[in-house]
């Protein structure tokens, strides 16, 4: 067993399994000069390996990150890191999605442009997973039913909302996949395709299990959603496809972070998506759609919208679906959804309710509506079942979850933040 200077044992160290950085990259990560980096190496704090064919060394990222964390803690950066987890500074490197002043971009492509140009959800999912837009139309093979839909229905109440159905479905799909821990990227992408096809087909499984097989027979996830909810596929598929694309990813939102944490532990794809679905169910995340639907039921008639909004505001109650912390000028994903919802002719009374609520909030000077509001507007226009908006959100966001799961595995480190202990009397 060889020991370098500083006494750190190198037993079982295999550089082939490590993420390695150049000297310039390592010094930049630490925020030090190269001479200081070399001092850390000589003290055994950072391991390095020769780069074949050169006189350069490569430095082990995990050692660098561990050393940086120690230095930051000593410098009083713990409070900064704690605040970063509350709508603060970035805490994970990612090349998947950027949220900036120009809007939301997937791998450098603006999400709104992809949606209005008619790029399919499948194409955008492949962009998120592989880094490039496919050069031709994408068709995912329809998976077989792993078990009869009736077996899932027997576990759920008939009125179970779609998101509850999906939350119950994913672990069962995992249990039916005997090789789910085999995770080469190519195999995982095929597994992800099958999983997303299932999510789209099973959304109505509790109320209409007979439609699941029919929905799986459709060519796209959007068409599967329409078939599963019993609406006209030709009329609904394109608007649903637009919604799925706009929901496909949103950087490190709560559910995506949950998926990445699970992925960092080595959990299989189904377990990671289950973690994301659990986080999505919260009323401050995907559950916002359900609260918006409840508001529309409270309003009931278009002429009541202004008075209901005023009364809520007078009582100091929140009106769900308005204002997004990352988009002070308005959520760019919402207008393309409202455009489709408002284009329905003749306009149903339920759509007029949604439109009047949006107008009343605008007149009151409140922030523009969020994507959750746009999803509810679209689901209302298409006549989808209660809870459909949250399910569309979940199915669309699953593409992003998969992308982040794959990226987290490639990065190879465990997501394990530290707690800043405070005595009980200060809590």
* Model pLDDT for residues 4-27, shown as the tens digit of each residue: 444 444 445 566 657 888 999 999
As beta bridge partners, residue 21 has 59
Note the pLDDT of residue 329: 86
In sequence order, the 6+-apart residues with CB closer than 8 A to the CB of 190 are none
Note the pLDDT of residue 10: 40
Note the pLDDT of residue 418: 76
Residue written as tokens 């195999």?
187
In sequence order, the 6+-apart residues with CB closer than 8 A to the CB of 146 are 172, 173, 176, 177
Average pLDDT over residues 252-258: 94
Note the pLDDT of residue 85: 53
Q: What is the CATH number for 44?
A: 1.10.1660.10
Quick check: is 427 in a domain? no
Q: How far is CA 81 from CA 64, 168, 261, 420, in A?
A: 17, 35, 17, 10
Quick check: is 51 in a domain? yes
Q: How far is CA 255 from CA 59, 331, 393, 394, in A?
A: 33, 19, 11, 10
Q: How buried is residue 100: exposed, middle or buried, by Cβ count under 10 Å (0-12/13-18/19+)?
A: exposed
Range of the domain at 52: 15-84
Note the pLDDT of residue 106: 97
In sequence order, the 6+-apart residues with CB closer than 8 A to the CB of 304 are none
Lowest mean pLDDT among 73-87, 225-239, 244-258: 73-87
Note the pLDDT of residue 90: 53
Model pLDDT for residues 332-363, shown as the tens digit of each residue: 999 999 999 999 888 899 999 999 999 999 98
Q: What is the CATH number for 147?
A: 1.10.580.10
Average pLDDT over residues 380-388: 95
Average pLDDT over residues 66-84: 62
Is 88's pLDDT higher than 70?
no
Model pLDDT for residues 198-210, shown as the tens digit of each residue: 999 999 988 899 9
What distance in Å separates the CA atoms of residue 22 and residue 5, rounded to the nearest whole number? 21
Identify the domain boundary among 53, 84, 115: 84
Quick check: is 422 in a domain? no
Residues 270 and 388 in one domain: yes
Note the pLDDT of residue 228: 96
Residues 120 and 79 in one domain: no
pLDDT band at 43 (very low <50, low <70, confident <90, very high): confident
Note the pLDDT of residue 14: 66
Model pLDDT for residues 143-162, shown as the tens digit of each residue: 999 999 988 888 898 889 99
Counting the structural domains of the chain, the total is 2
Quick check: is 95 in a domain? no
């Amino acid at each position: 067993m060889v020991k370098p200077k500083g006494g750190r044992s190198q037993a079982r160290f295999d550089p082939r399994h490590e993420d390695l950085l150049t000297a310039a990259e390592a010094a930049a990560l630490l925020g030090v000069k190269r001479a200081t980096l070399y001092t850390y190496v000589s003290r055994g704090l950072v391991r390095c390996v020769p780069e074949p064919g050169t006189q350069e060394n490569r430095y082990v990222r995990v050692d660098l990150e561990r050393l940086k964390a120690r230095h930051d803690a000593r410098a009083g950066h713990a409070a900064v890191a704690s605040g970063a987890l509350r709508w603060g500074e970035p805490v994970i490197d990612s090349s998947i999605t950027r949220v900036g002043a120009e809007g939301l971009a997937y791998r450098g492509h603006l999400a709104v442009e992809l949606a209005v140009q008619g790029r399919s959800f499948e194409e955008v999912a492949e962009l998120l997973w592989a880094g490039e837009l496919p050069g031709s139309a994408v068709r995912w093979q329809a998976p077989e039913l792993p078990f009869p839909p009736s077996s899932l229905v027997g576990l759920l109440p008939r009125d179970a909302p779609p998101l509850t159905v999906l939350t119950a479905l994913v672990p069962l799909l995992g249990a039916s996949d005997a090789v789910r821990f085999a995770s080469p990227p190519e195999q995982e992408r095929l597994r992800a395709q099958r999983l997303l096809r299932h999510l789209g087909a099973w959304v109505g499984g509790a109320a209409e299990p007979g439609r699941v097989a029919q929905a799986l027979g459709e060519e796209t996830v959007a068409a599967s959603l329409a078939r599963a909810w019993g609406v006209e596929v030709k009329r609904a598929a394109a608007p649903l496809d637009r919604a799925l694309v706009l929901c496909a990813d949103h950087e490190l939102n709560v559910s995506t972070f949950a998926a990445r944490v699970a992925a960092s532990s080595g959990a299989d794809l189904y377990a990671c998506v289950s973690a994301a679905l659990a986080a999505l169910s919260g009323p401050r995340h995907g559950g916002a759609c359900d609260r918006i639907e409840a508001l529309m039921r409270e309003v009931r008639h278009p002429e009541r919208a202004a008075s209901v909004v005023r009364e809520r505001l007078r009582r100091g109650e929140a009106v769900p679906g308005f204002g997004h912390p990352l988009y002070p000028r308005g959520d760019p994903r919402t207008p393309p959804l409202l455009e489709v919802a408002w284009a329905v002719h003749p306009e149903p009374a339920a759509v007029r309710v949604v439109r009047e609520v949006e107008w009343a909030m605008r007149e009151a000077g409140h922030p523009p509506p969020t994507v959750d509001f746009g999803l509810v507007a679209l689901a209302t226009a298409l006549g989808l079942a209660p809870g459909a908006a949250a399910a569309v959100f979940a199915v669309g966001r699953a593409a992003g979850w998969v992308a982040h799961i794959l990226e987290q595995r490639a990065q190879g480190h465990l997501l394990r933040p530290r707690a800043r202990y405070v005595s009980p009397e200060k809590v």
